[in-house]
Amino acid sequence: MKKIGKQTFSIKDNVFIRDTYTIVGKKEGQGPLGNKFHMVVEDDLWGEDSWEKSELKFQKTAVEKLMEANQLKKNQIDLMISGDLLNQITSSSFAARAIQLPYIGVYGACSTMALTMGLGSLLIDGGFAENIICVTSSHFCSAERQYRLPLEMGGQRHMSAQWTVTGSAAVWLSKNGSGGPRIKNVTFGKITDLGVKDANNMGAAMAPAAYDTLNQHIKDTGIDYDLIVTGDLGTVGKGIVNKMFNEDNNSIEKKYDDCGTIIFDIEKQDVHSGGSGCGCSATVFGAFLYRKLLDGDIKKLLFTSTGALHSPTATLQGESIPGIAHSVGIEI
Amino acid sequence: MKKIGKQTFSIKDNVFIRDTYTIVGKKEGQGPLGNKFHMVVEDDLWGEDSWEKSELKFQKTAVEKLMEANQLKKNQIDLMISGDLLNQITSSSFAARAIQLPYIGVYGACSTMALTMGLGSLLIDGGFAENIICVTSSHFCSAERQYRLPLEMGGQRHMSAQWTVTGSAAVWLSKNGSGGPRIKNVTFGKITDLGVKDANNMGAAMAPAAYDTLNQHIKDTGIDYDLIVTGDLGTVGKGIVNKMFNEDNNSIEKKYDDCGTIIFDIEKQDVHSGGSGCGCSATVFGAFLYRKLLDGDIKKLLFTSTGALHSPTATLQGESIPGIAHSVGIEI
């Protein structure tokens, strides 16, 4: 069994992260990572007649550009694994319809990027696939109106609220490669729910799940990572994770950051607690963290996407918001 | 590479389907398979205060009863893979919260049972897991109000409409076993969409996808199956699949059936085109097809769940309904 410790799957063969492609919206383009993204789209509708259609264009284009840049043909790709926030993961389904690859749809809310990469690396290491494309997306406008309130209302945002990233990232995993970042260990999380019911405080809803999976992954592997990144807890959730590790006398503070706080300038961009959405950890990984690995700035990265499995219907029925986090250990 | 033909993954080691547990609602209990289900629940709320909470109880109970019947402890199970129809797959997330196993959430609409079983068998064969629980559910009342109209309206149903099955099935996959049904080949489908926009004719939306995956799986494996079962196309979709194969001069009619037409007595139970929903192919497999394999009635089963990746929002924006089908080849 390729399993270490209680909950972590170990990748025996090499699974290389060969390339990434990221597309973001205007606000993300104005943030600290602005010049690192592969493409910035100024118009949030991107010429489409709805935000939902715009979001699927982000996802479809990210995959197409990734394939184009690497001269990848459809018959070389064994699977596409994707998911997003919209009901019935429509951005993913419609992008998969356009791209015409064998398709596995997943749902993990903002934990999707690590979920697809984890799953993809297991399928490659298991001998089933040579090349897999993992992709996810989110869009501020489509997410706000589905999960919270109509944008047209112009409601005031809570200080604990996060700003859903408009963006998509596609990641190419391959069994073939030489050098370059490799996925080594994968931990799929359990649901953790400490009773948060506030859709404007997703960071607090997800933080206990992030702590649980991080803690388990570190225990299982014993690896001393150069950088541990969650995504996307924002300032509130990041603070809770730090507090939980500190209470264990096991501080990770010095080498820990969160994609929700990396993607925006929190002070200047009026995003309150930071970024969120499937596209947040996805684009931060694809444009920034992956580059740090390639450049040798870091050698061991623990990439952990976190998801608030929030359903407006369940919340109206009095339910709290279940959190989940999936970890992918990457080394170069 | 454990891949045969263009799109099919071949399972080299044994992946046994060790057991199943099925729970259905009253109407399903009155159908032709009534005495084959493990549990029939008469009250569609099952003591809960919403249909959504009732559905998650179906899913949670199916897993718990499956574990109980096989004296399976949590630490023996490596993963739970599940999905359902409700927005943000809430039945699955909340069931996973209660069950506390490492959790992968998938979305494939009514194709979910084959998707989870296919994925689970690859992860076991890849050496990552010893035991995996696959589960899905649907509920007539929660699905109708989410996808179509409020039940309280008492609207007349179209003759091409299908009746969402109230039910859940959990399936235990294991690398350990002796004899018994084994998963041998898995084909994940591509999206097929011929432009159907009518949420009351899901069978027609899914049939081309079913044909595409079935055809590819049969070409890739060359296996002469004793029984080919799709789920859940209903009478309309089943007719289209037969027509498509007949036009190829490759009729499968004599050994082909559909879970949507098996679960209900279509004439007497007023279900129009037949059953549907993630729970349809799941409970028909768990209670009926699995038993046929165990009893030796059939030796080679091609189980193909079909999904209409329908989103009410996308439909209101003028989009058609993408279809997908995943095939799992099982032998004893």
Please give the interface size between A and B, counted as residue pairs whose CB atoms are below 8 Å apart. 178
- B251 and B326 belong to one structural domain: yes
Chain B residues with beta carbon closer than 8 angstroms to that of A9: 128
- A97 and A241 belong to one structural domain: no
pLDDT at residue A13 in the model: 83
Nearest-CA neighbor of B283 among B262, B307, B297?
Answer: B262
pLDDT grade for A261, boundaries at 50, 70 and 90: very high
Cβ atoms of B148 and B262 within 8 Å: the answer is no
Question: Are B105 and A105 in contact (CB < 8 Å)?
Answer: no
pLDDT at residue A199 in the model: 87
pLDDT in tens, B74-116: 999 999 999 999 999 999 999 999 999 999 999 999 999 999 9
pLDDT in tens, B234-253: 999 999 999 999 999 999 99
Is the model's pLDDT at A78 over the cut of 90?
yes
Pairing of strands B103-105, B79-84: parallel
Q: For residue B104, give the chain A residue with the closest CA.
A: A188
Mean pLDDT of chain A: 97
Give the number of other Cβ atoms within 10 Å of residue B296's Cβ: 8
Tokens of residue A51, six digits: 């935000």
Choose the final residue of a domain: A174, A199, A222: A174
Question: Are B314 and A90 in contact (CB < 8 Å)?
Answer: yes
- Convert A270-308 to b/e letters by CB count within 10 Å (16 or more is b): ebbbbbbbbbbbbbbbbbbbbebbeeeebebbbbbbbbb
Choose the final residue of a domain: A123, A149, A174: A174
Its domain, for residue B167, covers 3-174
In eight-state DSSP terms, residue B173 is E
- Out of A130, A187, A191, whose CB is closest to B93? A191
- A30 and A167 belong to one structural domain: yes
Q: B240 to chain A nearest CA, in Å? A: 21
Chain A residues with beta carbon closer than 8 angstroms to that of B190: 96, 100-103
Q: B331 to chain A nearest CA, in Å? A: 20
Q: B310 to chain A nearest CA, in Å? A: 7
Cβ atoms of A58 and A84 within 8 Å: the answer is no
- B147 and B211 belong to one structural domain: no
- B82 and B193 belong to one structural domain: no
Distances (CA, A) of A51 to A99, A138, A175, B128, B159: 20, 10, 36, 39, 34
Give the whole-number percent of chain B exceeding pLDDT 70: 100
Is the model's pLDDT at B51 over the cut of 90?
yes
pLDDT grade for B152, boundaries at 50, 70 and 90: very high
Chain B residues with beta carbon closer than 8 angstroms to that of A129: 1, 3
Q: B166 to chain A nearest CA, in Å? A: 19
Report the CATH number that the domain containing residue B31 is assigned in CATH.
3.40.47.40
- B97 and B116 belong to one structural domain: yes
Q: For residue B10, give the chain A residue with the closest CA.
A: A128
pLDDT in tens, B269-325: 999 999 999 999 999 999 999 999 999 999 999 999 999 999 999 999 999 999 999
Count of alpha carbons within 13 angstroms of residue A247, beta-carbon side: 8
Question: Are B191 and A100 in contact (CB < 8 Å)?
Answer: yes
- Which residues 6+ apart lie within 8 Å of A104 measured at CB? A79, A80, A81, A82, A119, B106, B108, B115, B119, B188
- A237 and A269 belong to one structural domain: yes
- Out of B83, B188, B312, whose CB is closest to A102? B188
pLDDT in tens, A221-252: 999 999 999 989 999 999 999 999 999 999 99
Choose the final residue of a domain: A174, A206, A240: A174
- A148 and A206 belong to one structural domain: no
Give the number of other Cβ atoms within 10 Å of residue B226's Cβ: 15
pLDDT at residue A262 in the model: 98
Nearest-CA neighbor of B190 among B40, B98, B324, B79?
Answer: B324
pLDDT in tens, B165-212: 999 999 999 999 998 999 999 999 999 999 999 989 999 999 999 999
- A147 and A272 belong to one structural domain: no
Question: Are B127 and A1 in contact (CB < 8 Å)?
Answer: yes
Question: Are A88 and B130 in contact (CB < 8 Å)?
Answer: no
Chain A residues with beta carbon closer than 8 angstroms to that of B1: 127-130
Instruction: Tell me how many domains chain A contains.
Output: 2
Q: For residue A103, give the chain B residue with the closest CA.
A: B190
pLDDT at residue B199 in the model: 86
Chain A residues with beta carbon closer than 8 angstroms to that of B97: 191, 193, 322
- A161 and A231 belong to one structural domain: no
Mutation target for A interface from B93, B130, B192: give the one with most A CBs within 10 A: B93
Which amino acid is residue B151, in one-letter code? L
Question: Are B88 and A109 in contact (CB < 8 Å)?
Answer: yes
- A110 and A148 belong to one structural domain: yes
Q: A72 to chain B nearest CA, in Å? A: 16
Count of alpha carbons within 13 angstroms of residue A234, beta-carbon side: 28
- A285 and A217 belong to one structural domain: yes
